[in-house]
Amino acid sequence: GHQQDGKIFVLDMGEPVRILDLAQQMIRLAGKEPDIDIKIEITGSRPGEKLFEEIFHGAEPPVPTGQDGILLAAPRGVDLADLTDAIDRLADACHSADSETMGLILGTLVPEYGDDTGAA
Protein backbone atom coordinates (compact mmCIF):
# COMPACT_ATOMS: atom_id res chain seq x y z
CA GLY A 1 0.00 0.00 0.00
CA HIS A 2 0.91 3.64 -0.26
CA GLN A 3 1.45 5.98 2.65
CA GLN A 4 -1.20 8.70 2.25
CA ASP A 5 -1.27 10.53 5.60
CA GLY A 6 -3.56 13.53 5.77
CA LYS A 7 -5.22 13.02 2.40
CA ILE A 8 -8.97 12.75 1.92
CA PHE A 9 -10.18 9.95 -0.33
CA VAL A 10 -13.74 9.76 -1.62
CA LEU A 11 -15.52 6.90 -3.35
CA ASP A 12 -16.91 7.71 -6.79
CA MET A 13 -20.61 7.12 -6.22
CA GLY A 14 -21.50 7.10 -9.92
CA GLU A 15 -24.69 8.62 -11.25
CA PRO A 16 -27.36 9.90 -8.85
CA VAL A 17 -30.21 7.53 -8.04
CA ARG A 18 -33.78 8.74 -7.49
CA ILE A 19 -35.09 7.77 -4.06
CA LEU A 20 -38.39 6.60 -5.59
CA ASP A 21 -36.51 4.21 -7.91
CA LEU A 22 -34.45 2.94 -4.97
CA ALA A 23 -37.59 2.36 -2.85
CA GLN A 24 -39.29 0.47 -5.69
CA GLN A 25 -36.20 -1.68 -6.24
CA MET A 26 -35.95 -2.53 -2.53
CA ILE A 27 -39.64 -3.52 -2.45
CA ARG A 28 -39.16 -5.79 -5.48
CA LEU A 29 -36.04 -7.34 -3.92
CA ALA A 30 -38.22 -8.23 -0.93
CA GLY A 31 -40.53 -10.14 -3.31
CA LYS A 32 -43.31 -7.55 -3.21
CA GLU A 33 -44.86 -5.15 -5.71
CA PRO A 34 -44.61 -1.39 -5.18
CA ASP A 35 -47.97 0.31 -4.61
CA ILE A 36 -49.72 -3.09 -4.55
CA ASP A 37 -48.14 -4.92 -1.61
CA ILE A 38 -46.39 -1.90 -0.15
CA LYS A 39 -47.69 1.62 -0.68
CA ILE A 40 -45.18 4.37 -1.40
CA GLU A 41 -46.22 7.76 -0.10
CA ILE A 42 -44.40 10.84 -1.34
CA THR A 43 -44.37 13.39 1.46
CA GLY A 44 -42.13 16.04 -0.09
CA SER A 45 -39.00 17.50 1.39
CA ARG A 46 -38.75 18.70 4.96
CA PRO A 47 -37.36 22.10 5.96
CA GLY A 48 -33.58 22.06 5.59
CA GLU A 49 -33.54 18.73 3.77
CA LYS A 50 -31.02 18.49 0.92
CA LEU A 51 -32.23 17.62 -2.55
CA PHE A 52 -28.74 16.52 -3.57
CA GLU A 53 -25.41 15.93 -1.87
CA GLU A 54 -22.48 18.00 -3.06
CA ILE A 55 -19.40 15.89 -2.41
CA PHE A 56 -16.89 18.30 -3.95
CA HIS A 57 -16.98 22.07 -4.21
CA GLY A 58 -16.57 23.55 -7.67
CA ALA A 59 -13.39 25.34 -6.60
CA GLU A 60 -11.94 22.07 -5.26
CA PRO A 61 -12.47 19.49 -8.00
CA PRO A 62 -11.62 15.81 -7.36
CA VAL A 63 -8.29 14.40 -8.50
CA PRO A 64 -8.04 10.90 -10.01
CA THR A 65 -5.93 8.50 -7.93
CA GLY A 66 -5.16 5.84 -10.50
CA GLN A 67 -7.49 3.46 -8.63
CA ASP A 68 -10.90 2.93 -10.25
CA GLY A 69 -13.71 4.37 -8.14
CA ILE A 70 -11.46 6.30 -5.74
CA LEU A 71 -10.94 10.05 -5.97
CA LEU A 72 -8.72 12.38 -3.98
CA ALA A 73 -10.15 15.57 -2.52
CA ALA A 74 -7.85 18.50 -3.21
CA PRO A 75 -8.79 21.19 -0.69
CA ARG A 76 -7.36 24.65 -1.07
CA GLY A 77 -4.46 25.25 1.26
CA VAL A 78 -3.73 28.22 3.46
CA ASP A 79 -0.47 29.45 4.92
CA LEU A 80 -0.40 28.79 8.69
CA ALA A 81 0.93 32.28 9.50
CA ASP A 82 -1.86 33.87 7.41
CA LEU A 83 -4.46 31.67 9.09
CA THR A 84 -3.17 32.50 12.58
CA ASP A 85 -3.21 36.22 11.78
CA ALA A 86 -6.75 36.01 10.38
CA ILE A 87 -7.99 34.12 13.45
CA ASP A 88 -6.42 36.73 15.76
CA ARG A 89 -8.08 39.54 13.77
CA LEU A 90 -11.37 37.63 13.79
CA ALA A 91 -11.18 37.22 17.58
CA ASP A 92 -10.56 40.97 17.95
CA ALA A 93 -13.54 41.74 15.70
CA CYS A 94 -15.72 39.36 17.74
CA HIS A 95 -14.68 40.97 21.03
CA SER A 96 -15.57 44.40 19.66
CA ALA A 97 -18.80 43.08 18.03
CA ASP A 98 -17.64 44.40 14.64
CA SER A 99 -19.81 42.24 12.37
CA GLU A 100 -18.69 43.97 9.17
CA THR A 101 -15.02 43.17 9.87
CA MET A 102 -15.97 39.62 10.91
CA GLY A 103 -17.67 39.11 7.55
CA LEU A 104 -14.70 40.52 5.64
CA ILE A 105 -12.24 38.27 7.48
CA LEU A 106 -14.44 35.20 7.01
CA GLY A 107 -14.73 36.10 3.33
CA THR A 108 -10.94 36.04 2.96
CA LEU A 109 -10.68 32.68 4.73
CA VAL A 110 -13.65 31.09 2.96
CA PRO A 111 -14.23 32.73 -0.44
CA GLU A 112 -17.73 31.20 -0.66
CA TYR A 113 -18.78 32.72 2.70
CA GLY A 114 -22.03 34.62 2.22
CA ASP A 115 -22.49 33.29 -1.31
CA ASP A 116 -26.07 32.03 -1.42
CA THR A 117 -25.49 30.20 -4.70
CA GLY A 118 -22.69 28.02 -3.33
CA ALA A 119 -20.61 28.86 -6.40
CA ALA A 120 -17.09 30.21 -6.21
Show me where the domains of the chain are located. Answer: 7-75, 77-120
What single DSSP character describes residue 64?
Answer: E
**pTM, 2 dp:** 0.47
Give me the tens of pLDDT residue by residue for the chain, a chain 120 residues long. Answer: 444 667 888 888 888 888 899 999 999 999 999 999 999 999 888 888 887 777 777 777 888 888 998 988 877 778 899 999 999 999 999 999 999 999 999 988 887 777 554 444
Contact 98, 112 (CB under 8 A): no
Give the SS3 label for residue 25.
helix
Ordered alpha helix ranges (H), 2-79: 19-29
| CA–CA separation, 95 and 93 (whole Å) | 6
Q: Diameter of the chain by CA atoms? A: 64
Instruction: Check: CB of residue 105 under 8 Å from CB of residue 93.
Output: yes
Could you tell me where the DSSP H helices lie in 30-116?
80-95, 99-109
Q: Residue 84: which residues within 8 A CB-CB, separation 6 or more?
A: none
